[in-house]
Structure 1
Amino acid sequence: MLNVCINLISFRKQLIESSTQHSSVNDFVIINIPEEDVEPKQIILDPDDQPMWESAKTVAPTPNSAIVQIDVDDSFVINSTHLKMIQENKFDGYLQADKHDHIREFLAICDMFKYGETQSEAVKLLIFPYSLSDKAKTRFNELNEESITSWEQMRKAFINKFFPPLLFNRLLLEIRNFSQNICESLTEAWLRLKNMLRKCHGNGLTKGAIIQVFYHGLDESIQAILDRTARGIFLYKSQNQAFSIS
């Protein structure tokens, strides 16, 4: 009997101590029991239930520009008029478009606007892509990523892309096979040949070679006129004399 009383007293004491450590409501002891670890459930989706395009979708990385990003001051601003003039003088990349003429025009416009000494080259690199359109824009974007760090590299990459050796050889062959068109005057024929020479930049033809190509490409009646004008055989004149007559 004594042992039972002692056990009851001990149980009462434990109950009181427990009630002081936990919150109570209406004299009921609330014991916070930690939640048991629950293994996360895996949801398995049937691939046949997904949209067909989802399995084949691949998001490719966006390629970088061929031009390496130029470091400029935070306050650096390109003149809006400058950019507008460049955009109004675009190169489309087709055969009739003169590549060297485009470079000359681009530089002439750039020379009209002054920036800091260290910023002029950065301006050319930043705005040159805006001078391209259509086929030229597409082909320029095919250049290797971050392969251009200077204006000279830009100029060479542009010329090589749109004036490859095959095109150069074709234009040079057209010059060597030059002939006067029907109903074309002497002056018109000469101007057309000069335009062909200008498009075939770096052709390496001397004045004498050009005069011979021109003379042999003329009709016999026009050759006779040149001979009378030269008061002798036209090709016997010096290069400078022949150029002045033609």
Structure 2
Amino acid sequence: MADNRTMAQMLQAPIEGYEDAIVVPPINANNFKLKQTLINLVQGNQFTGKQDPHNHLRFFNKVTSTFRHPEVLNTSIKLLLFPFSLEGEARTWLDKEPPRSILTWDDLVSKFINQFFPPSKTTYLRNEITTFYQKPKETFNEAWERFKGLLCQCPHHGFSELHQLDTFYNSLNTNDQDALDSAAGGNFLDKNLVMV
């Protein structure tokens, strides 16, 4: 089939193919409108690709949970607002996703986390947690805060609370292990773990 367009017509930019990656389900609610204050809140803490993506999602969920509409699913609101929460490298990532490739909030979270927290980072942090040791001259409190920080950096680490306590206890220097044993009224590891 011959193309009868002129050279000028062939060189024109296409007018289609500009659909977003995120597909927001149709909203049939009367008088539904995103409030500018909510958009401003989301834009006040934009993710650039350099921060912790888990913290960004926690903040984003907290902000979006403040807005409810009886006829609109919260996941639809999140899908509408999420692009406003990105800038820089993160916005470029979303713009490069294939059109109509993100159909649900879970799709979006999965793609976002895998982009900005790849499996290699999970492996690295799980190894850091497993091989954690108290540094020389590091106090008990400093070691505990650093250990908790590693756990927070990788909330999907998969280690049970018992494994975490065992790892931390065994990473301590002898003096801090003795102090913890004394505070526990005997060997810390021999105590029953009471979940509250």
Q: Does 1:198 align with 2:136?
A: no
1:33-88 Cα offsets, whole Å, 9 max, x none, are xxxxxxxxxxxxxxxxxxxxx9xx88577653211254345954210100000001
Cα offset for 1:119? 5.3
Cα offset for 1:219? 1.9
TM-score (norm. length: structure 2): 0.80
Corresponding residue for residue 5 of structure 2: none
Letter in 2 for 1:185: T
1:77 to 33, 36, 49: 33
Corresponding residue for residue 128 of structure 2: 174
Asked if the contact 1:172–1:200 (Cα under 8 Å) also holds between the matched residues in 2, the reply is yes
Structure 2 unaligned blocks of 5 or more:
1-7
1:124 to 59, 64, 78: 78
Corresponding residue for residue 65 of structure 2: 111
1:114-150 Cα offsets, whole Å, 9 max, x none, are 2242354332111101111222222233322211122
- Local SS of the residue matching 1:82: helix
CA distance in 1, matches of 2:177, 2:156: 28
CA distance in 1, matches of 2:48, 2:150: 19
CA distance in 2, matches of 1:236, 1:119: 49
Letter in 1 for 2:122: F
Letter in 2 for 1:66: A
Cα offset for 1:103? 1.6
Instruction: Give the number of aligned pairs.
Output: 185
2:49 to 85, 88, 93: 93
Asked if the contact 1:92–1:135 (Cα under 8 Å) also holds between the matched residues in 2, the reply is yes
Asked if the contact 1:211–1:239 (Cα under 8 Å) also holds between the matched residues in 2, the reply is no
- Local SS of the residue matching 2:129: helix
Letter in 1 for 2:180: L
Asked if the contact 2:21–2:97 (Cα under 8 Å) also holds between the matched residues in 1, the reply is yes
Letter in 2 for 1:92: T
Q: What does 1:1-246 correspond to in 2, within 5 Å? A: 59=13, 63-68=18-23, 70-72=25-27, 76-94=32-50, 97-118=51-72, 120-240=74-194
Is the alpha carbon distance of 1:116 and 1:207 closer, same or farther for their aligned partners in structure 2, counting shifts above 3 Å?
closer
Corresponding residue for residue 18 of structure 1: none
Letter in 2 for 1:84: N
Letter in 1 for 2:152: R
Is the alpha carbon distance of 1:183 and 1:116 closer, same or farther for their aligned partners in structure 2, counting shifts above 3 Å?
same
Letter in 2 for 1:89: N
> Which has more radius of gyration?
1
CA distance in 1, matches of 2:160, 2:68: 38
Asked if the contact 1:140–1:161 (Cα under 8 Å) also holds between the matched residues in 2, the reply is no
How high is the sequence identity, in percent, across the aligned residues? 32
User: RMSD across aligned C-alpha pairs, in angstroms?
Assistant: 2.7
CA distance in 1, matches of 2:136, 2:45: 34
